[in-house]
């Protein structure tokens, strides 16, 4: 696969091709069957590090190394991996990078929705051929799961719990027998060693289509938490908004920039229902205020400052974005936001112009 420079969003294995190549070249540990890297090197790819020849591997996931080790170790067994967590805790992001590092491709993907049908998990047919020739290998359209089984690869299943339960059931046989029967052809596809599944599911979706216990037993679950500390969340937002900004030709903010710290402060205080110093209780809004939203508030702020301001991001560039992230449900959240502005923001030293900017956009 060649990388075209003008892709809006290259796949992980394209964007980080040189890191992956350097890791593979200097990786002398044993690799499980069909793996492109050893488990150790996969963890280095995710967590970052410096290789013997000096190549710097950028961190992809910021958080506990142990979680990533457990995830990678799981993929080397016959159990599948389920990444579970609140929205915006990097489940999709980690899944993509794991697939890229383990199998060299992250593109075998089933996007789970309530409309996901069995052929997305098993196989379908090219109907023109099916009618003309009857069932044949050539008329069969493999699902990404079937392709992964044949080609010894990892396949990703996004939002597993949104998939209707009868379609989820089709996965049980695949994960337990490692076989996908094709009764129409009297054949089956047996998974090659190196096949595995990385699924993601949202904590908030619990109860939408609860995973059956039979299916859950096939997975090892790794729960991705919200960033543990203020500094960790600042680092994630700094790093990711810089990466996104670069791909949009926007300037990069220096680490721990004041406006990044401000966004993270507001998000963490409203999320936890308490100011960072622990002194004042605040009412949390209805939305989840994820790290992912903090990243987009900062990225949008940089775009505003670049295109419509003097180029330097300031309080007025993040005010509207924060308002939009906090006030999801106009009925309740507008009051929550206004209360937070009056009881916390107004009094806070150095936050005067942010207060004024927020008052202005709140109308
Ligand atoms: N701990 C973290 N480390 C690195 N990036 C993170 C972290 N938490 C959130 N992000 C970023 O947040 C964004 C959203 O993550 P995503 O994978 O879409 O969330 P989810 O699938 O859990 O809803 C990504 O850009 C990701 O890089
Ligand atoms: Mg996701």
Expressed in angstroms and rounded, the spacing between residue 88 Cα and the centre of ligand 2 is 7
Q: State if residue 181 touches ligand 1 by the CB under 6 angstroms criterion.
A: no
Asked if residue 146 lies in contact with residue 180, where contact means CB atoms within 8 angstroms, the answer is yes
Residue 203: predicted pLDDT: 80
> What does the alpha-carbon distance between residue 140 and residue 135 come to, in Å, rounded to a whole number?
7
Spans of all domains in the chain = 64-223, 230-362
Assigned superfamily of 64-223 = P-loop containing nucleotide triphosphate hydrolases (3.40.50.300)
Q: Kindly tell me if the per-residue pLDDT of 2 is higher than 60.
A: no
| 354 three-state secondary structure | helix
Phi first, then psi: give them for residue 122, nearest 5 degrees: -105, -90
pLDDT per position as a tens digit, 206-254:
655 678 888 999 999 999 999 999 999 999 999 999 988 888 888 888 8
Asked if residue 282 lies in contact with residue 269, where contact means CB atoms within 8 angstroms, the answer is yes
pLDDT per position as a tens digit, 279-312:
999 999 998 899 999 999 999 999 999 999 888 8
Expressed in angstroms and rounded, the spacing between residue 186 Cα and the centre of ligand 1 is 43
pLDDT per position as a tens digit, 333-343:
999 999 999 99
Cα atoms in the Cβ-side hemisphere of radius 13 Å centred on 184: 13
Residue 363: predicted pLDDT: 66
- Quick one: what percent of the chain has pLDDT higher than 70? 97
Mutate to test the pocket of ligand 1, among 61, 160, 228, 240 (most ligand atoms within 8 A of CB): 240
Tokens of 256: 């721990």
> What does the alpha-carbon distance between residue 22 and residue 39 come to, in Å, rounded to a whole number?
15
Q: State if residue 98 touches ligand 1 by the CB under 6 angstroms criterion.
A: no
Residue 212: predicted pLDDT: 83
> What does the alpha-carbon distance between residue 331 and residue 117 come to, in Å, rounded to a whole number?
37
> What does the alpha-carbon distance between residue 182 and residue 124 come to, in Å, rounded to a whole number?
10
Q: State if residue 39 touches ligand 1 by the CB under 6 angstroms criterion.
A: no
Number of residues that make up the chain: 363
Task: Specify the residue with its C-alpha closest to ligand 1, atom 26.
Answer: 90
- What separation in angstroms does the CA of 282 have from each of 276, 279, 336? 11, 10, 8
pLDDT per position as a tens digit, 102-145:
999 999 999 999 999 999 999 999 999 999 999 999 999 999 99
- Average pLDDT in the 176-197 region? 97
Across 213-331, where does the E strand assignment appear? 219-223
Tokens of 309: 């301001």
- Average pLDDT in the 15-22 region? 97
Measured from the Cα of 87, ligand 1's closest atom is 23
| 142 three-state secondary structure | strand
CA dihedral sign, ordered 31, 37, 41, 42: negative
> What does the alpha-carbon distance between residue 267 and residue 81 come to, in Å, rounded to a whole number?
30
> What does the alpha-carbon distance between residue 78 and residue 196 come to, in Å, rounded to a whole number?
7
Mutate to test the pocket of ligand 1, among 9, 291, 293, 298 (most ligand atoms within 8 A of CB): 291
Residue 236: predicted pLDDT: 96
Expressed in angstroms and rounded, the spacing between residue 15 Cα and the centre of ligand 2 is 19
| 38 three-state secondary structure | coil
- Average pLDDT in the 170-178 region? 94
């Amino acid at each position: 696969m060649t990388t075209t420079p003008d892709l809006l969003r290259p796949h992980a294995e394209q964007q980080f091709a040189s890191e992956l190549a350097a890791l593979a070249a200097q990786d002398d540990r044993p690799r499980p069957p069909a793996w492109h890297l050893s488990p150790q090197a996969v963890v280095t790819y995710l967590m970052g590090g410096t290789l013997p020849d000096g190549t710097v591997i950028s961190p992809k996931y910021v958080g506990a190394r142990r979680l990533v080790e457990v995830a990678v170790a799981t993929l080397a067994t016959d159990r599948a991996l389920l990444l579970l967590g609140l929205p915006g805790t990097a489940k999709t992001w980690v899944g993509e990078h794991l697939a890229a590092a383990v199998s060299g491709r992250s593109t075998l993907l089933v996007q789970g929705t309530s409309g996901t049908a069995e052929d997305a998990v098993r196989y379908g047919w090219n109907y023109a051929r099916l009618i003309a020739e009857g069932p044949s290998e050539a008329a069969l359209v493999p699902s990404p799961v079937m392709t992964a089984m044949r080609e010894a690869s990892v396949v990703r299943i996004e939002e597993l719990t949104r998939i209707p339960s009868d379609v989820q059931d089709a996965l049980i046989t695949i994960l337990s027998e490692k076989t996908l029967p094709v009764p129409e052809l009297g054949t089956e596809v047996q998974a090659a060693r190196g096949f595995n599944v990385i699924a993601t599911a949202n904590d908030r979706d619990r109860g939408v289509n609860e995973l059956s216990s039979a299916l859950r037993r096939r997975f090892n679950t790794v729960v991705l938490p919200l960033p543990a500390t203020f500094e960790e969340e600042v680092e994630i937002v700094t790093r990711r908004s810089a990466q996104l900004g670069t791909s949009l030709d926007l300037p990069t903010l220096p680490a721990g920039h004041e406006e990044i710290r401000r966004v993270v402060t507001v998000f963490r205080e409203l999320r936890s229902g308490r100011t960072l110093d622990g002194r004042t209780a605040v009412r949390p809004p209805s939305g989840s205020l994820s790290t992912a939203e903090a990243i987009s508030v900062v990225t949008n702020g940089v775009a505003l400052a670049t295109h419509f301001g003097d180029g330097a991001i300031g309080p007025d560039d993040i005010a509207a974005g924060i308002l939009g992230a906090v006030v999801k449900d106009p009925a309740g959240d507008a009051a929550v936001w206004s209360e937070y502005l009056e009881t916390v923001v107004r009094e806070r030293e150095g936050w005067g112009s942010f207060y004024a900017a927020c008052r202005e956009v709140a109308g």
